[in-house]
Structures are given as C-alpha cells and as structure tokens.
Amino acid sequence: MNKKYIFLLFLFFTGFTHLAAQENNIATGNFSVLNWIILAVFLIGTTVFGELVKGKDKGLDGFFKGGNNLPWWAVSLALIATTTSVSTFIAVPAFVFSPDGDLTYLQMTFGFALGSILMIFVLLKEYYQEGIYSPYDFIQNRLGVKTSQLSRTFFMGGATLSQAVRLLGTALVLSVITGQSTIVCIFIITVFAVVWSYIGGITTVVWTAAVQFAIFIFGALFALFFAIGDIPGGLSEMLTIADTKAKLVLIDLSLDPHKTYTLWVGILGCTFFQFGANAVDQVVTQCALSCKSLKEARKAVGFSALGLIITWVMAIVGIALVAFYDINPLSQNVASSIATEPDRIFPYYVVNQLPDGVSGVIIAAMFAAGISTLTSALAALSQTSVMGVGGFIFPKLKTMPEQKVVNISKYTIVVWGAILGLLAYMFSFSQGGGLLALGFKVPGYVYGTLVGIAFLALMRKGSFPAILIGSLLAVAAIAWMHNEGISFFWWFPVGAIVVMATAILHEFVFKKKEI
C-alpha cells in the first residue's frame, strides 16, 4: 500500500460522490458539499493513518497477531468497535422507534457483560499459554485436526453471514445519505474495508478501529444531547411521550420461549452468545490475542464490556426519536419508507435535523465504524482460511517463506471482501424484523456448536465422530427452534448443550462397552 493507491482511492471516492449527487431521495437534501468533504477526508485520512501505524514485522506473527505488541487499551477499544459497530448504532434506535418497540432489548446487556467475564476466566489463559493464532488451533491441540477443521468450517459459515449483515447495516446508512442503490453503497464500503485490512493486517485493524471508536462514541453522545434538546420540554417531555406510548418497559419476566427479549434470555442466552463471540469467533479473538501478555488481554476484554454503555445511549436516542417525531410527524412518504426499512430512522434524523458539518462528522463516524468491523472480519477469515483450512489442504503452505504466505493472505482478503459484499446484497432483499434480529439469527446456527466444542476441548473430551454427530443434531435442533419461532438467543445454549451431551454420552457408552 503506498501513496499511489491512496490517491486512487481518493479519485474513486470523489467519483462516487459526484455520481451520488445525481440521485435524490428522502434523506439527501441536507447532506451538503461540506458534509461530503468531511466524509471524504475522514475516509482518506483513516486510510493514510492505517498506512502509518502498520507494524514493522512483516511475518505471519506481525500480520495476524501484531507481534503481540499492541497496548491493551487500543485492543479494548477495537473490541468495542468490532462488537457494537453500526448495527448497534442504527438498529437499537430503530427497534425502540418501531411500533412494538421498547427498552426490553437492554436486558440483553446483562448477558453480554457476563459473557465477557466468562471469557476472561475460562479460555483466555489457555489461549495465551499455548501461543496460538486462533481458538481453532486450541481445539486442534486438544481434540485433533478433524475437529478443528469442523470448527473452522462452522466459523467461516457463521462469520460470513453475520458480517454480511453488518456490511448491509453500514450500506443502509450511506444509502439514506446519498440516495444511491444498496449495491453501490455495499461496493464502496467493501473497497475501503479491503484496503484497510490489506495494508497491515491486525495492527492496522486495531488502531483504525480504536480511532474510529473515539469519534463513534462522540457521535452517539452528541446525537443524544441534540435529540433531547430538540424536544420542547426537554427530558421530562420526552419521557412523558415515551410513557404514553409504552416505550419505557425495561424488564420482562415472561417465561414464554417465543418472546425475543426477556430477562431470562438476557442472563442465559446472551451470556452464551457473548462468550461465543469472545472465545470462539476469530473476528473478536484475534484482537484479544494481539496483546502483550495474558494480564493485558484480560484488561482489554474486561474493559471492552464498558462498550455496553453505547447500547444504553442509543436506546435512549431511540426514545428521543419517538418523542421528536410525535411532536414533528414524518411526512407520509417518509413514514412509508421508514416502515419498510426501519433501520433508516436514525440516519434520516442525523442528516435532516443536525447542523451542517456536525451531521457529516457523525455519519462519517458511523460509516468508518462499520468498515472497522468489516476489517476485523476480513483479517480473521483470511487467517482461518489460509493458515487453518489452506494449510490442511495444501501442506506446502507450512513450508513456504512467511512473507509469501502473508501475500497469499492479503489476496484472500480481497476474495473474502467480494464474498461478503455479495451476501450483503442478497440480505438486502430479506430484512425481516430489522437488522437487530437478523444480526443475531444468522450466527445462531454455529455459535452454540462452537462454544460446545470449545468446552469439550477445555475438558479434553470427545471424539470426532461424536462431535460431528452432536454438531449435526445441534443444527437440527436449532432449525426446529427457528421453525417454531423460539427466541434466537436460546439457540446458543441449546446448541452448546447438545454437542457436549452427545460427545460425553458417546464417550461414557464407549468406555462402558470396553469394560
């Protein structure tokens, strides 16, 4: 990556913005030339910054683990940006703003915090002691190559689907601003994500994500302050309007497994989900493994739980939007558009209500945060497919010079970028209950299974045939739950329990027969 490519990116972006100006939709009117300049400078500046901070180590350890030389606080901010991203920034307000929405989603944050704590004390120590690149290396050391390849396959399937949803979320933001088609927006986001990942591997990913997070949280707080200030009567009036619309419901003690957001789902289902995201999803784990030591990694994961504050802030922003548009009703055309794609409501508000220039900074922050999340995924998918699956299929990779393997990994990033872009475009036709639900459903078929396999590896229990059967049974059970409309957060603990129970029962029966 050099100045020539940065210049080409600048030409590409300015050409895109010129094309974007040719179309118009419900949200383009207030996105001025100043805002476009801010957005262009922001993206090009981040690209230059990524070039400046890339690691000096040119080997595999430098490209995929940052030479284990990244400060814990930067890793922590990168973890927050990776796990919250644009999905939280636009989907949480959209959920609260929707006709049946309220604050019950915030119950999920309890489980998110517990899942991070579980990661700190259960698997992180094992990962650092064995000096691995990914959790699938840990599984391979404990349970063998076949089980690790099965885990990698599950991860790549789940990661491509979930990251495609996040890519779609960022594309929706840009689509609201420019009026361009979703496919054009997906394309430009993918180009920048590929470039950022290609520059310097995990080092560039972590530092750019950390910088974007700082602006990301500023955007959330400013939007909250401005939204409340825009309501006559301020906070008091906002809460009064929200209460009349039943938007302030926070705790749901229902035992109905079909309800998506209840306290029990938050404490149990979300704990398994977050533990899976931290412990067996290479997108997140790769960042945690780039710290200088186990002690610093634990601090990084622990402090990343503070990122849940963003979820609460964005939920309150959703309440403010309810009050604001109750006082200032949307036009019929806009209301119809929002009803079709509810995730557009917060970007629409930012573009049309915030001051010129400020809206550009906030949109740029959302846009860059979404790309930062995608860069983490591209780095993780590249590592898994080249060093994991690729090394198994093509043994020559293990004896190649490290720099050559790094170059192959960079080319793989481009391929994965194209795959994620295509999937994001396909998801744009079936947003169902919104991005918030879709973002959790798509990895639901694999996260629970991966958590179960990781626990089996920790216990050194389970043969490959039993784990394979257990994984298939877990997928079948989750498919049945999906068909029955059972909350997707229950899929994660059920998947883990089915895999573990099958493997342990098989081992018990096998040993009993031997006796």
452-485 pLDDT, tens digit each:
998 999 899 889 999 999 999 999 999 899 888 8
Residue type, 409: S
pLDDT band at 360 (very low <50, low <70, confident <90, very high): confident
SS3 291: strand
Measured CA angle at 362 (ends 358, 367), to 5 deg: 145
| pLDDT above 80: residue 139 | yes
Q: For all residues of the chain together, what is the average pLDDT?
A: 80
Task: Give the per-residue pLDDT at 27.
Answer: 42
Instruction: Check if the beta carbon of residue 507 is closer than 8 Å to that of residue 463.
Output: yes
SS3 70: strand
Answer yes or no: is pLDDT of 145 > 70: yes
Residue 515 has pLDDT above 60, yes or no: no
Provide CB contacts within 8 A for 449, sequence distance 6+: 154, 470, 471, 474, 475, 495, 496, 499
Give the pLDDT confidence of 295-336 residue by residue, as tens digits.
998 998 888 888 888 889 889 999 999 999 999 888 888 888
pLDDT confidence bin for 11, thresholds 50/70/90: very low
Rounded Cα gap, residues 54 and 243, in angstroms:
50
For the chain, what percent of residues have pLDDT higher than 70? 84
Amino acid identity at 280 = V
22: pLDDT strictly greater than 50: no
* Contact status, residue 421 vs residue 187, Cβ threshold 8 Å: yes
Return the domain boundaries, the chain: 3-442
**Is 21 a residue whose pLDDT tops 70?**
no
Asked if pLDDT for residue 267 goes beyond 60, the answer is: yes
Q: What is the DSSP string of 353-394?
A: HSPTTHHHHHHHHHHHHHHHHHHHHHHHHHHIIIIIIIHHH-
Once rounded to an integer, what is the mean pLDDT over residues 486-515? 84
- Report pLDDT digits (tens) over 215-240: 777 777 877 888 888 888 888 999 99
- Tell me the C-alpha to C-alpha distance, in Å, between residue 40 and each of 192, 212, 218, 359, 365: 12, 15, 19, 14, 12
Task: Find the DSSP H helices in 60-144.
Answer: 60-65, 72-83, 85-97, 108-122, 124-130, 135-143
Is 90 exceeded by the pLDDT of residue 500? yes
**pLDDT at res. 453:** 92
pLDDT at 7: 46
Question: What is Dmax (Cα atoms) for the chain?
Answer: 79
Residue 340: what pLDDT?
Answer: 74
The 10s digit of each residue's pLDDT in 167-183 is 887 787 777 666 667 78
Residue with the bigger pLDDT between 58 and 365: it is 365
379-412 pLDDT, tens per residue? 778 878 887 777 777 777 766 777 787 788 888 8
* DSSP designation for 67: G
Rg (CA), the chain: 23
pLDDT, position 227:
81
- Would you place residue 248 in the very low, low, confident or very high pLDDT band (cuts 50, 70, 90)? very high
Q: Fold for domain 3-442?
A: Sodium/glucose cotransporter (1.20.1730)
At 20 the pLDDT is: 43
